Amino acid sequence: MILAWTICLLMGTGLLAWLASRWSDTLPRIISLAGILLFLGIVLYIWFGHPAGGRWIVHYTHSWISAFGIRITLGADGLSLLMLLLTAFLGVLSVLVSWKEIKTRVGFFHFNLLFILAGITGVFVSLDLFLFYFSWEVMLIPMYFLISIWGYENRTYAAGKFFLFTQASGLLMFLSILGLYFVHGRSTGIYTFDYEALKGTLMSRPTAFLLMLGFAAAFLVKLSTVPFHSWLPDAHTQAPTAGSVLLAGLLLKTGAYGLIRFVLPLFPQASHQFAPVAMILGVVSILYGAKLAYAQTDLKRLVAYISVSHMGFILLGIYAFNQIALQGVIMQMVAHAISTGGLFIIVGALHDRIQTREIGQMGGLWTLVPKMGAMGLLFVLASLGLPGLGNFIAEILILTGSFMASRILTILAALGFIAATLYSLRIMQKVFYGTVLKKWAIADFGIREMIVMGSLAIVIIWLGLFPNSILNGTQKMVQGVIEQVTITANMAQNENR
Partner 1 sequence: MITGPDIQSLLPMEIIAGGMLFTMVGIALKRNHILTVICTLTTLAAAFLSVLFIWPTTPHAIGDLFLIDRFGCYFQALVLLSAFVVTLFSQISLKNFFPEKRKEEYYLLLLLATLGGATMVISTHFISFFVGLEILNISLYTLISYYRERPKAIEAGLKYLILAAMSSAFLLFGMALIYALTGTLSFQDLAATALRHDSLSMTILIAGIGLMITGMGFKLALVPFHMWAPDIYEGASSPISGFIATVSKGAMLAVLLRFFTMADLYDYKQIMLVFTVIAILSMLTGNLLALRQNNIKRMLAYSSIAHFGYLLVAFTAGKGIGTRAATFYLTAYIITILAAFSLITLISRSDNEATDIDDYASLFWKKPVLATLFSIILLSLAGIPLTAGFMGKFYLLAAGVGQGNWLLAFTLVVSSVIGLYYYLRFIFAMMRPNGQNFPIDSHPSLTGLMILSLLGVAVIWLGVFPVWLVSLVSSLT
- Which residues in this chain contact partner 1 in the complex, by CB under 8 A? 64-68, 105, 108, 130, 133-134, 137-138, 140-141, 144-145, 148-149, 156, 159-160, 163-164, 167-168, 171-172, 174-175, 178-179, 181-182
Could you tell me the smallest distance in angstroms from the CB atom of residue 251 to partner 1?
Answer: 16
Could you tell me the smallest distance in angstroms from the CB atom of residue 202 to partner 1?
Answer: 18
Q: Which is nearer to partner 1, 167 or 361 (CB)?
A: 167
Q: Which is nearer to partner 1, 73 or 410 (CB)?
A: 73
Q: Which is nearer to partner 1, 129 or 368 (CB)?
A: 129
Q: Which is nearer to partner 1, 138 or 303 (CB)?
A: 138
Could you tell me the smallest distance in angstroms from the CB atom of residue 479 to partner 1?
Answer: 34
Could you tell me the smallest distance in angstroms from the CB atom of residue 73 to partner 1?
Answer: 16
Q: Which is nearer to partner 1, 4 or 140 (CB)?
A: 140
Could you tell me the smallest distance in angstroms from the CB atom of residue 149 to partner 1?
Answer: 5
Q: Which is nearer to partner 1, 172 or 450 (CB)?
A: 172
**Rounded CA separation 374/239 (Å):** 25
Could you tell me the smallest distance in angstroms from the CB atom of residue 133 to partner 1?
Answer: 8
Could you tell me the smallest distance in angstroms from the CB atom of residue 264 to partner 1?
Answer: 24
Q: Which is nearer to partner 1, 87 or 166 (CB)?
A: 166
Q: Which is nearer to partner 1, 34 or 178 (CB)?
A: 178
**What 3 state SS string does the chain have?**
CHHHHHHHHHHHHHHHHHHHCCCCCHHHHHHHHHHHHHHHHHHHHHHHHCCCCCCCCEEEEEEEEHHHCEEEEEEECHHHHHHHHHHHHHHHHHHHHHHHHCCCCHHHHHHHHHHHHHHHHHHHHECEHHHHHHHHHHCHHHHHHHHHHHCCCCHHHHHHHHHHHHHHHHHHHHHHHHHHHHHHHHHHCCCCCEHHHHCCCCCCHHHHHHHHHHHHHHHHHHCCCCCCCCHHHHHHHHCCHHHHHHHHHHHHHHHHHHHHHHHHHHCHHHHHHHHHHHHHHHHHHHHHHHHHHHHCCEHHHHHHHHHHHHHHHHHHHHCCCCHHHHHHHHHHHHHHHHHHHHHHHHHHHHHHHHCCCEHHHCCCCCCCCHHHHHHHHHHHHHHCCCCCCHHHHHHHHHHHHHHHHCHHHHHHHHHHHHHHHHHHHHHHHHHHCCCCCCCCCCCCCCHHHHHHHHHHHHHHHHHHHCCHHHHHHHHHHHHHHHHHHHHHHHHHHHHHC
**Beta bridge mates, 71:** 63
Q: Which is nearer to partner 1, 167 or 421 (CB)?
A: 167
Could you tell me the smallest distance in angstroms from the CB atom of residue 71 to partner 1?
Answer: 12
Could you tell me the smallest distance in angstroms from the CB atom of residue 190 to partner 1?
Answer: 15
